[in-house]
Chains A and B, each alone.
Chain A
Amino acid sequence: MVGVLEVLEVLKIIDSSILLCLFGLPMLGATLLLFIPASALKIIKIVAFAVSLVVAVLAIYIFVSFDETLGGIQFQRIYGWLPLPGPWGSGDDAITLSLGIDGVSATMVLLTGIVMLTGTLISWNVKESTKDFFILYFVLLSGVFGVFVTFDLFFFFLFYELSVLPMYLLIGKWGSTSKFKSFVRTKEYSAMKLTLVLVAGSVLIWVAIIAIFFQAGIGSFSVIEIQKVSETALSPTFQNIFFPLLMIGFGILAGLWPFHTWSPDGHVAAPTAVSMVHAGVLMKLGAFGIIRIGIVLMPNGAETWMPLLIVLGAVNVIYGAVSAMGQTDLKYVIGYSSVSHMGYVLMGMATLNVLGMNGAVLQMFSHGIMTALFFAVAGMIYDRTHTRDTLELRGMAKKMGVISIMFTIAGLTSLGLPGMSGFVAELLVFIGVFQSYGHLGIILGSAAVIGAALTAVYILRLVASVFFGSTPEMWENQTDSRPRELLVAGILVAIIFSVGLWPFPYIEVIESGVNPIVAAISGAG
């Protein structure tokens, strides 16, 4: 009996600091790896896997135990960090590590946990400087988790920047250079472009955060506290001036047209696991930031500027799809399809109604899983053939049957086939868009549907030419997926189908987070 009590006690401690563990464990893992000699490959991989597994379990636990009937912010913990004395008094709670989970972030945490675990597994064959790779990879994920679980502007920004910091080295060192006939894009170039563009986005965010802090004038960086006074302290004029900063700053990370060009380049150059995390999760940080900080703190500004965002989102959808059609590099196709799919996310949140927002968040989740699968499979193909040129890759299904099926599943999700996660999410977005903004909504909704049709064109064409048809002799000696790769793909495929066939558990959680946000907007309006 004592044993059970002790276990319960331990569980309680874990429960009370679970969000801290979520970004603390990857950081701890990175620190631990720092002290393991680089030659001890086995130990490094075991540590990396163990940390990823524990974090993934924690993420699943958080999602499952999130009480969607209760809604609101759960698992809340506030740790004091730095006082800022000022006219508001001693300012003891000015900067706090304010942790919590709402319906939106619970979904995102689950996504990150899954992508982290599958990314670690797929990185098993990183040959060069494995230790440094995992250290940076964990720092990246620590930042991502941190963003999703903090309700403090300072820490939000800290983790946001932390997730950008390792990208340069991850892409520059372990990435790959793309060469086409008359066009070379080096990995160093792509890495620098990605880092600078993303940090440029955070310039805008930083300015907006400083402005919000002083305009609110309560001496607190806490989103929850500022939200309480936002109606009185943040005047509509102020919101109209500073909301675009957040919208564009975060939008850059979300792949918002015309600031999206870093994304295909970066994702193509990055090593597989980093592409998975970056396209799968990191781009969602941008969309998440618009919701968590932009819409929540400045509902008036959101209402003013959302019509612009929904138009830009529609451009994203069409532009991304058309660009993807013209690509001959497997990863560039996926990269541009990400741009296109993030357009649905932006359109969904720009509707500012419950359906559209639900769709946006579910699309964030669905696209994260789907893109992770896409990049994982593209990585598997590249590992074997050492090319991503779709003009060279032909008839791969003959030797890589399982890999072909996985890629096809990702493709069908991407074009929104019913029964898979993409369909549910996109349907919600479409309905939301049609409901909003009158005639504009109908036009843009139609554009979004056309975008989905375009997706079908380039995905089916790609699948047909790369995987089916006769197999050239040069690809006769290929091998199919290894068990480890099958596991990765299996996890992702299972989630795609589970969302597609029975989406209500996910939607209920998401809706519990979206409802208060939408309610606050209609209240402000």
Chain B
Amino acid sequence: MNDFSLLLPEFLVAGLAFFILALDLFIKENWKRYLVWVAFFGLAVILFVSLFIESEGQLYDGLLEFDEFTKFFRIFFLIIGGVTVIISREYVDSRLKYPGEYYGILLFTLLGAMLLASSAELLTAYINLELLSFGLYVLVGYERYNPKSNEASVKYILLGAFSSALILFGISQIYGLLGTTRFDEMSVAFSSLSSISPGMAVGFVLIVSGLGFKLAAVPFHMWAPDVYEGAPLPITAWLSVGSKAAALALAIRLFSEGFISVFGELQPILIVIAAITMVIGNLLALVQKNIKRLLAYSSIGHVGYLLMGLAALVPIAKTGSVAETFTNLVYNGLLFHMVSYGFTTMAAFLCVITVYNKTGRDDISAFAGLSKRQPLVALVFVCALFSLAGLPIFVGFASKFYLFNAVGGQGLLWLVALAIVMSLISLYYYLTIARQLYIENSEDDAPIAVSFVTKLTLGGLFGVMIILGIYPAFLLEAIQRATDALISGNLLSLV
């Protein structure tokens, strides 16, 4: 009945997590720093497996759905997870104790993210979201003796729990009124409704708010800068890429399967949230002095662009069938920009981590004169910043162009214009960092040594930024398959 081979990568990740936790109990203290390689190569094997297994189908009577969309996100999470593990290596060695628990819990959050992409039912999605969040609550507070880390953790737990409660309440509203929580049944039930009742509207708003919390969309973003600042740096990177992408995966599936027939009612909310998210995120980033907070606000800005794509999934005009619109371009653009944002952010954070490991400082002026102290890190960092700002030849340019272009085609040209203006504003604060890197001089001219593994990772991420920027066609092919899985299955039949 249930073909559990569909879940093989998830089983393997869970197994790897338990294996690391168990191994941690038995090996000697000075061997524990090799656990990172167990985690990394374990993930590499799982990535290899999930690249080649055929996975199409449903599990548990449709609670989990496996299609190209799932596969795309699964592979994305595995790669980003692997990068997170590898960029954690030196940080964990030098600043955190208990590597076993660290990598174990990190893998559980990865598992939650992977499962979120395949969830096709609200409660399943909720459980996976909690699996992701609970691990993150622990990891954010992992620097036990750092008060900021503790503060961040408490803030994150309280607000995270609050947002989970919002989602649960929203789910209960929808279940109460529709009698189902499965996405496919929901859309059928919605399309038979003549109008949206107030209770249903409350349900929508609560679920959107809850997702907004997880995505750090304005006005639910207040936790993000503090948590980013307090959390250990690799976890900040994972928070800003992995957990956001997971929430986005859920949102995309939910909106294109569950809420598709009432998307018109939701769209104004999404447009408003997207607009204020990119405005507030980019404007507040202008005044930040701490690199983590700056990246936090800049990532809020990027969530704004992604939400803009989410808001444009289906065009405003309800007349006309989907085939005549640019919906698939929006899906592609959304996924493309998410991938681009993910890799670029990882590269930026790796640079921050490298400098932080050596200097212990994370204010922007700590990066003064980095081009002399460590040219490679400075180069990758400045390229990552240019990519985030959306300048060619980096992937950020191609993905922004694709996404903005697609949204513009959906009749939201004014929103795109706003996004482009915001992206101009973002250039200012990215350039202030570039100024520190290349123009300013530091008092301390001592070179910063970088390990071979870090160099390799930096080079790899740099290569990804350039290659995807110059020739993204092969990535877009994979993305197109993921898009087709969502659109052909649902949109065409329903709208």
**Given contact pairs A132-B371, A157-B401, A206-B404, A85 touches B420 in the complex (Cβ within 8 A):** no
Once bound together, how far apart are the Cα atoms of A261 and B378, in whole Å? 31
Asked if B328 lies at the interface with its beta carbon under 8 angstroms from chain A, I say yes
Q: Scan residues 117-142 of chain A and give those whose CB is less than 8 A from a CB of chain B.
A: 129, 132
A196-231 contacts to B (CB < 8 Å): 196, 199-200, 203, 206-207, 210-211, 213-214
A sample of 21 inter-chain contacts (CB < 8 A) reads A38-B375, A85-B328, A86-B328, A129-B371, A132-B438, A158-B393, A162-B391, A162-B392, A165-B386, A169-B438, A188-B435, A192-B431, A195-B427, A196-B428, A199-B427, A203-B420, A206-B404, A210-B408, A210-B413, A214-B326, A214-B408
- Indicate whether B457 reaches chain A with its CB closer than 8 angstroms: no
CA distance A213 to B386 in the complex (A): 25
Given contact pairs A83-B476, A206-B404, enumerate 6 new A-B contacts (beta carbons under 8 Å). Answer: A81-B473, A162-B393, A172-B435, A206-B401, A207-B408, A210-B404
Contact of B392 with A161 in the complex, beta carbons under 8 Å: yes
Q: Which secondary structure characterizes the binding site on chain A?
A: helix
A257 CA to B391 CA, complexed, in Å: 26
Instruction: Mark A79-110 against chain B: 1 for CB-CB distance below 8 A, else 0.
Output: 00111111100000000000000000000000
Q: Which residues of A contact B393 (CB under 8 A)?
A: 158, 162
Q: Which of B328, B386, B427 has the most CB of A within 10 A?
A: B427
CA distance A393 to B329 in the complex (A): 61
Most chain A CB inside 10 Å of its own CB: which residue of B323, B324, B416, B417: B417
B12 to chain A, nearest CB (A): 34
The answer, among B323, B375, B416, B421, for a CB contact under 8 Å with A210, is: B416
Q: What separation, in Å, do the CA atoms of A474 and B123 have in the docked complex?
A: 84
| Beta-carbon contacts under 8 Å, B388-447 to A | 391-393, 397, 401, 404-405, 408-409, 413, 416-417, 420-421, 424, 427-428, 431, 434-435, 438-439
Q: Which B residues from 201 to 233 make CB contacts under 8 A with A?
A: none
- Which single residue of chain B is at the shortest CB-CB distance from A197? B424
Asked whether any CB of chain B lies closer than 8 Å to the CB of A173, the reply is yes
Q: Are B438 and A207 in contact (CB under 8 A)?
A: no
Bound-state CA distance A211–B409 (Å) is 8
Distance between Cα atoms of A111 and B328 in the complex (Å): 43
Chain B residues with Cβ below 8 Å from A214 are 326, 408-409
Nearest to B413 among chain A residues (CB) is: A211
Residues of chain A within 8 A (CB-CB) of B397 are: 158, 161
In whole angstroms, what is the CA distance A132 to B438 when docked? 10
Give the size range of A's interface with the partner. 35 or more
Is B149 interfacial (CB 8 A cutoff)?
A: no
Nearest chain B CB to A131's CB is how many angstroms away? 9
Residues of B close to A173: CB separation below 8 A: 438-439
Which residue of B is nearest A206, CB measured?
Answer: B420
Q: A165 touching B438 by the CB < 8 A rule?
A: no
Contact A207 B431 (CB under 8 A): no
> Which 4 A-B pairs give the minimum distances between C-beta atoms?
A210-B408, A158-B392, A172-B439, A214-B409
A168: nearest chain-B partner, CB-CB: B431
Task: Identify which of B325, B421, B473 contacts A82 (C-beta below 8 A).
Answer: B473
Q: In whole angstroms, how far apart are the Cα atoms of A293 and B101 in the complex?
A: 58
Name the A residues within 8 Å of B431 (CB-CB): 168, 192, 195
A290 CB to nearest B CB, Å: 20
Q: Is the beta-carbon distance between B476 and A168 smaller than 8 angstroms? A: no
Q: Is B472 an interface residue (CB 8 A)?
A: yes
Q: How far is the CA of A313 from the CA of B375 in the complex (A)?
A: 44
A406 to chain B, nearest CB (A): 32
Cα A199 to Cα B324 with chains together (Å) = 33
> What residues on A are CB-neighbors of B326 within 8 Å?
86-87, 214
Measured CA separation A164–B392 after assembly (Å): 10
Question: Contacting A188 at CB < 8 Å: which of B408, B416, B427, B439?
Answer: B439
Please give, as numbers and ranges, the residues of chain B lying within 8 Å of A168 by CB-CB distance: 431, 434-435
Say yes or no: is B480 at the interface (Cβ < 8 Å to chain A).
yes
Check: A375 CB closer than 8 A to any chain B CB.
Answer: no
A430 within 8 A of B: no
Does A159 count as interface, using CB distance less than 8 angstroms?
A: yes
Interface assignment of A423: CB less than 8 Å from any CB of chain B: no
A458 at the interface (CB under 8 A from B): no
A211 touches B408 (CB 8 A): yes
Given contacts A83-B473, A158-B392, contact A207 B424 (CB under 8 A): no
- Does A434 lie at the interface of the complex (its beta carbon under 8 Å from any beta carbon of B)? no
- Cβ of B37 within 8 Å of any chain A Cβ, yes or no, is no
Query: Would you give the shortest CB distance from B327 to chain A, in whole angstroms?
Result: 9
Partner of B438, one of A82, A161, A172: A172
**CB nearest neighbor in B for A205:** B420
Is B471 part of the binding interface, using a Cβ–Cβ cutoff of 8 Å?
yes
Which residues of chain A are within 8 angstroms of B416 by Cβ–Cβ distance? 207, 210
Q: Roughly how many angstroms separate A84 CA and B392 CA in the complex, as a whole number?
A: 19
Cβ of B386 and Cβ of A200 under 8 Å apart?
no
A221 CA to B71 CA, complexed, in Å? 31
Residue of B nearest to A87 (CB): B324
CB distance from A87 to the nearest CB of B (A): 5
Q: Give bound CA distance, A424 to B450, whole Å.
A: 59
**A217 CB to nearest B CB, Å:** 10
Most B CB contacts (10 A, CB to CB) among A87, A154, A162, A199 go to A199
Q: Which parts of A145-182 form the interface with B (CB within 8 Å)?
A: 154, 157-159, 161-162, 164-165, 168-169, 172-173
Q: B413 to chain A: which residues have CB within 8 Å?
A: 207, 210-211
Question: 1/0 per residue B267-305: CB within 8 Å of A?
Answer: 000000000000000000000000000000000000000
A512 to chain B, nearest CB (A): 31
Which listed residue, A34, A85, A86, A196, touches B424 by the CB 8 Å rule?
A196
A81 to B473, CA, bound (A): 7
* A246, chain B: closest CB distance, angstroms: 14
Q: Among A82, A132, A165, A211, which residue has its beta carbon within 8 angstroms of that of B476?
A: A82
- Closest chain-B Cβ to A174's Cβ sits at a distance in Å of 10
**In the complex, how many angstroms separate the beta carbon of B439 from the nearest chain A beta carbon?**
4
B405 touches A210 (CB 8 A): yes
Docked complex Cα distance between A161 and B469 (Å): 13
Nearest B residue to A34 by beta-carbon distance? Answer: B379
Q: Which A residue's beta carbon lies closest to that of B391?
A: A165
Interface residues as binary, B63-102 with A (CB distance below 8 Å gives 1, 0 otherwise): 0000000000000000000000000000000000000000
How distant is the Cα of A55 from the Cα of B109 in the complex, in angstroms? 52
Interface pair A207/B420, CB less than 8 Å apart = yes
B90 CB → nearest A CB, Å: 25
CB distance from A245 to the nearest CB of B (A): 10
CA of A58 to CA of B413 in the docked complex: distance in angstroms? 41
Min CB gap A419→B, angstroms: 42
Docked complex Cα distance between A169 and B430 (Å): 12
Q: Which of B329, B379, B401, B476 contacts A86 (CB 8 A)?
A: B329
B473's nearest neighbour on chain A, judged by CB, is: A82
Given contacts A158-B393, A161-B391, contact A85 B480 (CB under 8 A): yes
Cβ-defined contact, B371 with A213, below 8 A: no
Contact flags A43-64 to B (C-beta < 8 A → 1, else 0): 0000000000000000000000
List of B residues within 8 angstroms of A38 by Cβ: 375
